[in-house]
């Protein structure tokens, strides 16, 4: 089992953000795989919440296309309604939440609603779903997205899911109770946020990717951490679990 | 009452309708397609997400406004009719009132509770909040905290699909519930489509599972496979291929009209649709294992 895809590396990086026993707002696609991988490796006691009302401790036996698929209901811990899980999120009982995004900016604000590009017609995207709620209310937010210059913009054209706004203490100034983006996992790198200015900082590049490549695909002059790391590659165990969960490579190839 | 009669009588042009209340499951596609066939116009659609049902109604020209957190194709991402309507005004301009899942749930909960709004801490600082006049910011009279006041949502009609109901509309439903219970209570009328109509004794045997009491229900219709291609736990799984096909086959208005002719306008009712879907495809979606819950004892 030599070699791995960047998506597999992203799943592994997502899984490593989950600590054992934590309550996780799971999301779909790569974050879902990351949650299942964490459960099977270092975080067997992690608890998954889904905005449709499902709470799960036992990983589903089959890969899910959506959070409401019957395998996610079968032997769930609890099936309730949306307010039950959104209430837990608003109370501050969710440690980590995962979301994706079409656009992100230097303060971690995410856009999945309306993209405006210079001189072109605006593009309508599906919207928030639960992403804005997770970004507003989870203790830590992990964003997962493709690293492209058109997606990593100086300012997003629409804030669907608030990050650190204009930086500094913006979140508390607008009334958000906690949280904010902690890590952005891309197919090139991992970004974290300056504890004071709240600006994104390149903290780790994936094996085989250069810093220049990351900077060239970021739409603002991205700060580089003094302690820049290389993202640790997946272990054989992690890879074999991912390939067992996603045998046809639907999500990871 | 047939589904066609229920839609004809209780969904007038201009109505606001909440659908897709159990998120990606139990989406009332049969009812939605009947709305399209009856060429209802100027509707307002309400829901957290809707998967591809809202996109179909938008493309068919039935919709004036959408109040939702997410409109797309859960399998494919973007939905092309939504994009054409917002970006190009095709087939007609569409007003979007953007929400989050939580604010849709709270708006319906406020409606169900009979209060004008409910406070929340979500969406502060977002453009969703800034651009939606029904998510105004307020100051808490007790703590001084900044909050949003989510205005109550009171739809004209809720259309929900459930596993089973009796003739009086008392419903058993299970699996993830999304916003179903609040949507039913917040709405002026309720149309239920059920996989099965069962004797009242079956429903009475388990009152904790009777999440919709019949006296709130305006019409109940037996409609097996009424949620296809979305899943109904215990009855059928999600038809994932159908969602991918929809994504591939609706990229242009011409393609969408062919799709609509094949699956909606060119079939006379749900049975005809199921014939077109084919027995093999339906059988492949049936549960592969049985997993009944343990009975609960209600003896005294």
Query: Percentage of chain A with pLDDT > 90?
Result: 85
Provide the angle, in degrees to the nearest 10, between the axes of the packed helices B253-260 and B52-59.
Answer: 100
Any idea which of A184-188, B75-79, B92-96 has the lowest mean pLDDT? B75-79
Band of pLDDT at residue A251, cut at 50, 70 and 90: confident
Mean pLDDT of B125-147: 98
pLDDT single digits (tens) B178-204: 999 999 999 999 999 999 999 999 999
* Bond into B91 cis (ω within 30): yes
Listed ranges A22-31, A119-128, A140-149; the one with the highest mean pLDDT: A140-149
β-strand partners of B190: B158
Q: Which residue has the tokens 């998954």?
A: A48
Closest-approach residue (CA) in chain B for A83: B105
Choose, from A8, A19, A51, A237, the residue flagged as catalytic.
A51
Going by the DSSP 8-state scheme, the letter that residue B259 receives in this structure is H
Q: Which A residues, 64 through 83, put their C-beta within 8 Å of a C-beta on chain B?
A: 65-70, 72-75, 79-83
Instruction: Measure in Å the smallest separation between the Cα of A89 and chain B Cα atoms.
Output: 10
Mean pLDDT of B30-43: 98
- DSSP SS3 for B161: strand
pLDDT at B19: 98
- Residue B233 pLDDT greater than 80, yes or no: yes
- Residue A119 pLDDT greater than 80, yes or no: no
Q: What is the DSSP track for B188-249?
A: SEEEEEEEEE--HHHHHT-GGGEEE-GGG-SEEEE-TTTTTTS-BTTTB---HHHHHHHHHH
CA-to-CA separations, B264 to A9, A149, A168, B241, in angstroms, rounded: 43, 41, 53, 18
Q: Which A residues, 169 through 228, put their C-beta within 8 Å of a C-beta on chain B?
A: 170-171, 174-177
Mean pLDDT of B243-267: 97
Band of pLDDT at residue A248, cut at 50, 70 and 90: confident
Binary contact (A70, B231; C-beta < 8 A): yes
Cβ atoms within 10 Å, residue B105: 33
β-strand partners of B68: B47, B98
Half-sphere exposure of B213 (CA within 13 A, CB side): 5
Mutation target among A85, A114, A129 for the B interface, most CBs of B within 10 A: A129
Distance CA B257, CA A30 (A): 34
pLDDT at A1: 44
Band of pLDDT at residue A2, cut at 50, 70 and 90: low
- Cβ-contact B27, B57 below 8 angstroms: no
pLDDT at B300: 97
Mean pLDDT of A195-209: 97
Mutation target among B77, B124, B130, B136 for the A interface, most CBs of A within 10 A: B124
Mean pLDDT of chain B: 97
Mean pLDDT of B15-19: 98
Q: Which domains does chain B have, with CATH numbers?
A: 3-7+14-99+154-276 (3.40.1080.10), 117-151 (no CATH)
Task: Verify whether residue A51 is a known catalytic residue.
Answer: yes
| Domains of chain A, residue spans | 6-245
pLDDT single digits (tens) B256-300: 999 999 999 999 999 999 999 999 999 999 999 999 999 999 999
Partners of A53 on chain B (C-beta within 8 Å) are 176-178
- Cβ-contact B98, B47 below 8 angstroms: no
Going by the DSSP 8-state scheme, the letter that residue B261 receives in this structure is I
Query: What's the predicted TM-score (pTM) here?
Result: 0.97
pLDDT single digits (tens) A82-105: 999 999 999 999 999 999 889 999
Mean pLDDT of B197-217: 98
Binary contact (A86, B109; C-beta < 8 A): no
Mean pLDDT of B97-105: 98
- Residue B78 pLDDT greater than 60, yes or no: yes
Of B60, B72, B59, the closest CA to residue B98 belongs to: B72
pLDDT at B77: 85
pLDDT at B50: 83
Pick the CATH number of A6-245 from 2.40.160.100, 3.40.1080.10, 3.40.50.1370, 3.60.15.10: 3.40.1080.10
Q: Which residue has the tokens 């905290």?
A: B145
Residues in CB range of B110: below 8 A, 6 or more apart: B116, B117, B118, B150, B151, B152, B153, B186
Closest-approach residue (CA) in chain B for A90: B121
Distance CA A47, CA A61 (A): 16
pLDDT at A62: 81
- Residue B161 pLDDT greater than 50, yes or no: yes
Query: Percentage of chain B with pLDDT > 70?
Result: 100
Of B285, B282, B257, the closest CA to residue B270 belongs to: B282
Q: Which A residues, 6 through 45, put their C-beta within 8 Å of a C-beta on chain B?
A: 28
């Amino acid at each position: 089992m030599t070699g791995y895809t960047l998506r597999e590396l992203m799943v592994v990086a997502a899984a490593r953000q989950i600590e054992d026993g934590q309550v996780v707002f799971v999301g779909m696609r790569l974050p879902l795989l990351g949650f299942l991988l964490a459960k099977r490796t270092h975080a067997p006691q992690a608890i998954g919440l889904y905005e449709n009302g499902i709470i799960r401790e036992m990983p589903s036996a089959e890969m899910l296309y959506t959070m409401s698929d019957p395998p996610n209901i079968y032997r769930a811990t609890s099936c309730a309604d949306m307010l039950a899980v959104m209430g837990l999120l608003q109370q501050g009982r969710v440690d980590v939440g995962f979301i994706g995004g079409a656009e992100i900016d230097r303060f971690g604000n995410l856009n999945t609603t309306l993209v405006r590009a210079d001189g072109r017609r605006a593009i309508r995207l599906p919207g928030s779903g639960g992403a804005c709620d997770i970004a507003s209310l989870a203790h830590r937010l992990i964003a997962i997205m493709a690293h492209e210059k058109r997606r990593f913009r100086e300012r997003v054209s629409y804030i669907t899911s608030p990050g650190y706004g204009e930086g500094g203490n913006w979140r508390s100034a607008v009334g958000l109770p906690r949280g904010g983006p902690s890590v952005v996992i891309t197919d090139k790198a991992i970004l974290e946020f300056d504890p004071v200015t709240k600006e994104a900082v390149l903290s780790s590049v994936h094996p085989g990717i250069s810093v220049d490549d990351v900077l060239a695909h970021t739409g603002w002059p991205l700060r580089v951490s003094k302690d820049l790391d290389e993202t640790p590659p997946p272990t054989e165990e992690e890879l074999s679990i991912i390939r067992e969960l996603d045998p046809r490579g639907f999500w990871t190839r | 009452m047939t589904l066609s009669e229920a839609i004809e009588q209780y969904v007038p042009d201009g109505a606001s309708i909440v659908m897709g209340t159990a998120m990606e499951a139990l989406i009332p596609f049969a009812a939605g397609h009947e709305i399209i066939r009856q060429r209802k116009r100027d509707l307002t659609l309400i829901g957290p997400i809707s998967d591809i049902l809202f996109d179909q109604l938008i493309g068919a020209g039935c919709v004036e406004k959408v109040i939702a957190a997410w409109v797309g194709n859960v399998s494919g991402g973007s939905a092309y009719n939504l994009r054409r309507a917002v970006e190009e005004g095709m087939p007609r301009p569409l007003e979007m009132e953007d929400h989050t899942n939580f604010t849709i749930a709270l708006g319906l909960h406020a409606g169900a509770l009979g209060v004008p709004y409910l406070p929340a801490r979500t969406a502060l600082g977002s453009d969703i909040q800034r651009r939606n006049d029904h998510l105004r910011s307020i100051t808490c009279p007790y703590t001084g905290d900044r909050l949003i006041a989510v205005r109550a949502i009171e739809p004209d009609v809720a259309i929900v699909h459930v596993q089973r109901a009796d003739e009086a509309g008392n419903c058993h439903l299970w699996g993830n519930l999304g916003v179903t219970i609040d949507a039913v209570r917040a709405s002026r009328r309720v149309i239920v489509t059920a996989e099965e109509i069962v004797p009242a004794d079956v429903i009475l045997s388990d009152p904790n599972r009777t999440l919709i009491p019949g006296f709130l229900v305006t019409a109940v219709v037996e409609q097996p496979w009424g949620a296809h291609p979305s899943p109904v736990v215990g009855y059928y799984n999600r038809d994932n291929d159908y969602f991918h096909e929809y994504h591939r086959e609706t990229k242009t208005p011409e393609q969408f009209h062919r799709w609509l002719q094949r699956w909606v306008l060119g079939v006379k009712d749900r049975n005809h649709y199921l014939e077109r879907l084919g027995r093999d495809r339906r059988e492949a979606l049936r549960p592969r294992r049985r997993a009944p819950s343990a009975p609960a004892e209600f003896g005294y």
